[in-house]
């Protein structure tokens, strides 16, 4: 099967946009990802999937913590900065702390986690995180991603 066909098919699944954050050597780090989902309510667990070539992979392994920041529609710049798409532009990134884990200010949801398991599957590592704390901001709409483009949420009345 062609890699492009696979990528195009996966792109047909509309997702929110997250930035995964961690701390390593007293410095905050992050990467844009859409491979995130909830796993369990009791205990409260989530999973993230990080590619083997991602610079954040060894940092999460060593720190044992990560934050999931579900981006608001006005945070496309954050997504692009942490995806390496805005290397030449200066975008001010503001971190704060949630239960000791670095998270992005202004995200519609911030989730701080401890790594409890990791599994190498294919060219990715799946990290299972036990949730330490959650902070929500219901005043904004989410940033969405579909078929390689950023999108906005539109309410459809039935």
Task: Supply the DSSP string of 69-132, one letter for each residue.
Answer: EE-BTT-HHHHHHHTTS-SSS-----EEEETTEEEETT-SEEEEEEEEEEEEETTEEEEEEEEE
Residue 85's pLDDT is 84
Binned at pLDDT 50, 70 and 90, residue 124 comes out as very high
Q: What percent of the chain has pLDDT over 90?
A: 78
Q: What is the pLDDT of residues 24-78, one digit of tens each?
A: 999 999 999 989 999 999 999 999 999 999 999 999 999 999 999 999 999 999 9
Q: Mean pLDDT lowest for which of 11-20, 78-87, 97-106? A: 78-87
pLDDT exceeds cutoff 90 at 157? no
Binned at pLDDT 50, 70 and 90, residue 154 comes out as confident
Q: What is the value of pTM for the model shown?
A: 0.92
The CA-atom distances, in angstroms, between 157 and each of 138, 152, 154 are 20, 16, 10
Question: Quick check: 96 and 103 in contact, CB under 8 A?
Answer: yes
Residue 54's pLDDT is 94
Question: How far apart are the C-alpha atoms of 56 and 96, rounded to whole Å?
Answer: 18
Binned at pLDDT 50, 70 and 90, residue 153 comes out as confident
Q: What percent of the chain has pLDDT over 70?
A: 99
Residue 88's pLDDT is 67
Those residues whose C-beta lies under 8 Å from the C-beta of residue 27, and which sit 6 or more positions away, are none
């Amino acid at each position: 099967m062609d890699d492009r066909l696979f990528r195009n098919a996966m792109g047909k699944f509309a997702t929110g946009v997250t930035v995964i954050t961690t701390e390593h050597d007293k410095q905050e780090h992050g990467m844009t990802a859409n491979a995130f989902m909830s796993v369990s309510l009791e205990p409260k667990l989530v999973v993230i999937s990080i590619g083997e070539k991602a610079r954040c992979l060894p940092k999460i392994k060593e720190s044992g913590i990560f934050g999931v920041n579900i981006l608001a529609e006005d945070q496309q710049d954050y997504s692009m900065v942490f995806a390496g798409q805005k290397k030449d532009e200066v975008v001010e990134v503001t971190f704060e702390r949630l239960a000791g884990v670095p998270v992005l200010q202004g995200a519609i949801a911030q989730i701080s986690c401890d790594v409890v398991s990791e599994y190498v599957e294919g060219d990715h590592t799946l990290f299972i995180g036990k949730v330490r704390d959650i902070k929500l901001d219901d005043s904004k709409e989410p940033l969405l991603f579909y078929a390689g483009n950023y999108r906005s949420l539109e309410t459809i009345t039935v």
